[in-house]
């Protein structure tokens, strides 16, 4: 058997290809697995998320710190099995990591991506 299929043949069985029929496709579902810090990002209203992104862009960790208090105000997260105070402290820990590592630019970049995740989650929430 030739390792490379000839024109008009499929690589799997050496049979002639029939084109892309709708019934011959395979549906694949991809689910992102989040760590506890990333899953603790709250679903906020869109304007609040944009403000947090703005704060995170100019003062690393400040928007994440503000978002921690939205958890205490009832914002839901992807950690339903954890208590509200635990999720609050996870967000405070993420803010501290961003602030402390901003000196070497890692925290600043992480802070901007964190703010972008907040906006993405807020757009899904709306």
Task: List, for residues 95-114, the tens digit of each pLDDT value.
Answer: 999 999 999 999 999 999 99
Describe the crossing of helices 62-72 and 106-125 by its angle, rounded to 10 degrees: 40
Output the pLDDT for position 17.
52
Burial pattern 47-57, b for ≥16 Cβ within 10 A else e, equals ebbbbbbebbe
**Interval 8-21 mean pLDDT:** 52
Please provide the average confidence, as pLDDT, over all residues in the chain: 84
Q: Nearest CA to 116 among 58, 62, 57, 37?
A: 57
Residues ≥6 apart with Cβ < 8 Å to 99? 60, 61, 107
**Interval 39-62 mean pLDDT:** 94
**Interval 16-20 mean pLDDT:** 53
Domain locations in the chain? Answer: 44-101
Distances, alpha carbon 60 to alpha carbons 28, 30, 102, 125, in Å: 37, 31, 7, 24
Distance (Å, rounded) from C-alpha 34 to C-alpha 18? 40
**Interval 39-52 mean pLDDT:** 94
Stated pTM of the model? 0.72
Task: List, for residues 60-81, the tens digit of each pLDDT value.
Answer: 999 999 999 999 998 899 888 8
pLDDT at 22 over 70: no
**Interval 40-69 mean pLDDT:** 95
């Amino acid at each position: 058997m030739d390792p490379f299929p000839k024109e008009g043949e499929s690589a799997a069985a050496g049979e002639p290809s029939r084109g892309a029929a709708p019934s011959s496709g395979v549906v694949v579902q991809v689910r992102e697995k989040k760590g506890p810090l990333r899953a603790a990002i709250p679903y906020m209203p869109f304007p609040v998320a944009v403000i947090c992104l703005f704060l995170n862009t100019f003062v690393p960790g400040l928007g994440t710190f503000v978002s921690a208090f939205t958890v205490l105000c009832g914002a839901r997260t992807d950690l339903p099995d954890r208590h509200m105070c635990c999720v609050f402290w996870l967000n405070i820990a993420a803010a501290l990591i961003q602030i402390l590592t901003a000196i070497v630019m890692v925290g600043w970049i992480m802070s901007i991506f964190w703010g972008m995740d907040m906006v993405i989650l807020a757009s899904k929430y709306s």
